[in-house]
Amino acid sequence: MSEQTTVAVLGYGTMGAGIAQVCAQAGLETLVVEAAQEPLAAGQRRLEAFLAEGVRRGKVDEAEREATLARIRRTTDLADCAGVDVAIEAVVEDLAVKRALLGRLGEVVGADTLVATNTSALSVTELARAYAYPERVGGLHFFNPAPLMALVEVVVAIDTSDETTAALTAFAEQIGKQPVTTKDRPGFLVNRLLMPYLNQALQAYDDGIASARDVDAAVELGLGYPMGPLTLLDLIGLDNHEHATSAAYEQTKDPDFAPPPLLSRMVDAGRLGRKSGRGLRVGVES
Amino acid sequence: MTQALNVGVLGAGTMGVGIAVTVARAGHAVTVRDPDAERVEHGVVQVRRFLDRSVELGKLDAAVRDAALAGLRGTTELGDLAACDVVIEAIFEDVELKARTFGELDAICPETTLFHTNTSTLSVTAIAAGSRLPERVVGTHYCNPAPLMKLVEVVKGRRTSEDAFARTLAFVEGLGKTAVVTEDVPGFLVNLFLVPFENDCIRALEAGMGTVESIDTAVRLALGYPMGPFTLMDIVGMDVHKAVSMSLYRQLRKPRFAPPPLVDRMISAGHLGRKTGQGFYTYEEAGLMGT
């Protein structure tokens, strides 16, 4: 793939906007597709705000900001994807929605197009079967915020061809990310390792082993992690974590993935973490 | 408890030496005790070397070092700890041995002396039961390397008194450490979270979810941990990792804590980590430690 690589990002939410920024900043012509004008405008505002913050912090210069924005085109017509080299699907984590979209995408682009899904909790294999050429589909799992996080998981589904895996890996490097290849199993690699730990930490807190402050402090100071597990849960969103860990639990029946009762109660109470202003640490510090 | 105390440190291994540095640097008089005279001598040299190096690096005032060294002694005799206000044990991770040692100290130290155990996976309550006065026994778990790591887990056994606990918190904070308070549960907080995570990483490796290198990379870049799990386990040593895992597994009876089969295979092969030149990675020079 060359400088002329063209990319379509399907979905302009938090992840879609982050991925579009990464691609455009790497010099690629990037087309963003959304279902309607309103989410398209909202995604654009998000991306522009993120870039502006980069400029404010001195991470991005003004010329780079302008060039990045100039490389991004927006559309509500999926047919505009015709001829793109890479299509990255980053719409809502809903199997039916993603499958319908991938089905329609197969009518627009051909077997030459490399297709990636940014799903974190769904089966890439099942999604790929909705596309006309499943061997051309793999996972490209970005982490939030995508412009700042260096890692991308390249997820090899059952039908993914070796050529596709190699191309996705090369593409990840082209956009400046560090790829790691992993299998299409629940949680892929990172979330498979992260979720049981978060569940365990939440249960330890609920069991009264230590205060919320001390659970986080032990991990930050004793292990040198950038933030403690309860602060991290507040950042991820307790509803997002519940969704992801429940999905892994349903597929594995492994009790380490089972959402702890406190997690579900917190979600019931609308205490979702940072985004709702109240969670395990956010909004409860004395 | 800001005035200088007499503090005994039992055990002149890595943790004993690190704790002795930490305590001496905070202005207390430290007596390091180990039954083996050579280990005592070596331990005292290590403490001195660490403090000298800190002065060279500009991390410590020479005057503080001089005061610390003036109060530093080594001994093979438990009886030399008779005047200690605090005794911190950092001996071999064995409940019987630790409990028995506190029992012996009962006959040597006054009843006001605090007994601290630096156990990482054993029950503070069980260790305290070796003393006639279990109320005075408190868990203080330092992280390795003790002089550099800010955290100390302060653990209340079932029979620990409020007074001993409060005095211990003040002592730990006086060392410039951040204390977190935990119940006497296996692994406290740090090892309770770390050990099963490491075993999960080994299982992911066994399951072909990645390679040693890719899993280390993923953990560092996506989770921001300072070191990948396999790099860390190579430093800790697979024999130590297994011992800690088995101790927690026996107490908690949860499968995440059980060391996966690869651990036994590596130990059988002599692939213990850095100290044998081969672990998850290969090392040019055997015995090179991370710190």
Percentage above 70 pLDDT, chain B:
97
Interface contact B192-A211, CB threshold 8 A: no
Residue A224's domain comprises 190-268
Instruction: Please answer whether residues A179 and B222 qualify as being in contact, where contact means their C-beta atoms are separated by less than 8 angstroms.
Output: no
Answer whether B145 touches A (CB < 8 Å): no
Q: Are residues A141 and A233 in the same domain?
A: no
pLDDT tens digits, residue range B167-188?
999 999 999 999 999 999 999 9
Instruction: Please answer whether residues A103 and A24 qualify as being in contact, where contact means their C-beta atoms are separated by less than 8 angstroms.
Output: no
Nearest chain A CA: its distance from B193 CA (Å): 7
What distance, in Å, lies between the first and last C-alpha atoms of chain B? Answer: 31
Q: Are residues A194 and A71 in the same domain?
A: no
Q: Are residues A179 and A199 in the same domain?
A: no
**What span, in angstroms and rounded, lies between the C-alpha atoms of A207 and A110?**
54
ipTM rounded to 2 decimals: 0.94
Find the mean pLDDT for residues B195-203. Answer: 98
Backbone angles phi, psi at A250, to 5 degrees: -60, -35
**What span, in angstroms and rounded, lies between the C-alpha atoms of B257 and A249?**
19
Cα–Cα nearest to B23, from B122, B156, B140: B140
Q: Are residues A29 and A76 in the same domain?
A: yes
Per CB-CB distance under 8 Å, the chain B contacts of A257 are none
Q: Are residues A124 and A54 in the same domain?
A: yes
* DSSP character at residue A178: E
Backbone angles phi, psi at B89, to 5 degrees: -95, 135
Candidate from B143, B183, B221 with C-beta closest to A209: B183
Give domain B192-280's CATH architecture: Orthogonal Bundle (1.10)
SS3 (DSSP) at A285? coil
Which superfamily does B6-182 belong to?
A: NAD(P)-binding Rossmann-like Domain (3.40.50.720)
Q: Would the pLDDT of A3 be above 80?
A: no
* Known catalytic residue at A141: yes
Residue A118 forms part of a structural domain: yes
The boundaries of every CATH 3.40.50.720 domain in chain B are 6-182
Give me the total of CB pairs closer than 8 Å, taking one residue from chain A and one from chain B.
129
Instruction: Please state, in angstroms and as integers, the Cα–Cα distance from residue B172 to each residue in A35, A79, A221, B117, B243, following that order.
Output: 59, 66, 15, 13, 27
Interface contact A182-B209, CB threshold 8 A: yes
Strands (E), A76-176: 86-89, 114-117, 137-142, 151-156
**B273: Cα within 13 Å, side-chain hemisphere:** 18
Q: Are residues A198 and A174 in the same domain?
A: no
Q: Which amino acid is at A251?
A: Q
Q: Which residues pair with B282 in a beta bridge?
A: B278
pLDDT of residue A149: 97
Q: Which residue of A has its CA nearest to B213?
A: A180
Interface contact A189-B150, CB threshold 8 A: no
The CATH number of the domain holding residue A114 is 3.40.50.720
Q: Are residues A150 and A244 in the same domain?
A: no
Q: Point out the catalytic residue in the list B153, B198, B199, B271.
A: B153
Q: Which of A158, A183, A208 is the last residue of a domain?
A: A183
Nearest chain A CA: its distance from B157 CA (Å): 12
Residues 6+ apart with CB under 8 A from A8: A30, A31, A32, A33, A80, A81, A84, A86, A87, A88
Quick one: tokens of A154? 């390249």
Candidate from A189, A218, A223 with C-beta closest to B210: A189
Quick one: tokens of A1? 């793939």
pLDDT tens digits, residue range A78-114?
999 999 999 999 999 999 999 999 999 999 999 999 9
**B265: Cα within 13 Å, side-chain hemisphere:** 6
- Rama region for A22: left / alpha / beta (φ>0; ψ in -120 to 50; rest): alpha
* Known catalytic residue at A191: yes
Counting Cβ atoms within 10 Å, is residue B50 exposed (0-12), middle (13-18) or buried (19+)?
buried
**What span, in angstroms and rounded, lies between the C-alpha atoms of A100 and A127?**
9
Q: Are residues A162 and A195 in the same domain?
A: no
pLDDT tens digits, residue range A240-254?
999 999 999 999 999
Confidence of residue B291 (pLDDT cuts 50, 70, 90): very low
Total of domains in chain A: 2
Answer whether B148 touches A (CB < 8 Å): no
Residue A283 forms part of a structural domain: no
* DSSP character at residue A59: S
Confidence of residue A286 (pLDDT cuts 50, 70, 90): low
Per CB-CB distance under 8 Å, the chain A contacts of B232 are none
Q: Report CA torsion sign: B16, B21, B24, B27.
A: negative
Find the mean pLDDT for residues A109-126. Answer: 96
Find the mean pLDDT for residues B141-158. Answer: 96
Residue A103 forms part of a structural domain: yes
Q: Point out the catalytic residue in the list B28, B116, B118, B120.
A: B120
Residue A280 forms part of a structural domain: no
Answer whether B291 touches A (CB < 8 Å): no
The boundaries of every CATH 1.10.1040.10 domain in chain B are 192-280
Q: Are residues A211 and A170 in the same domain?
A: no
Q: Would the pLDDT of B230 be above 80?
A: yes
The CATH number of the domain holding residue A258 is 1.10.1040.10
Q: Are residues A150 and A221 in the same domain?
A: no
Q: Are residues A110 and A206 in the same domain?
A: no
**What span, in angstroms and rounded, lies between the C-alpha atoms of A175 and A187?**
23
pLDDT of residue B284: 86
Q: Which of A142, A164, A183 is the last residue of a domain?
A: A183
Confidence of residue B2 (pLDDT cuts 50, 70, 90): low
Q: Mind spelling out the 3-state secondary structure of B85-112?
A: CEEEECCCCCHHHHHHHHHHHHCCCCCC
Q: Are residues A34 and A115 in the same domain?
A: yes
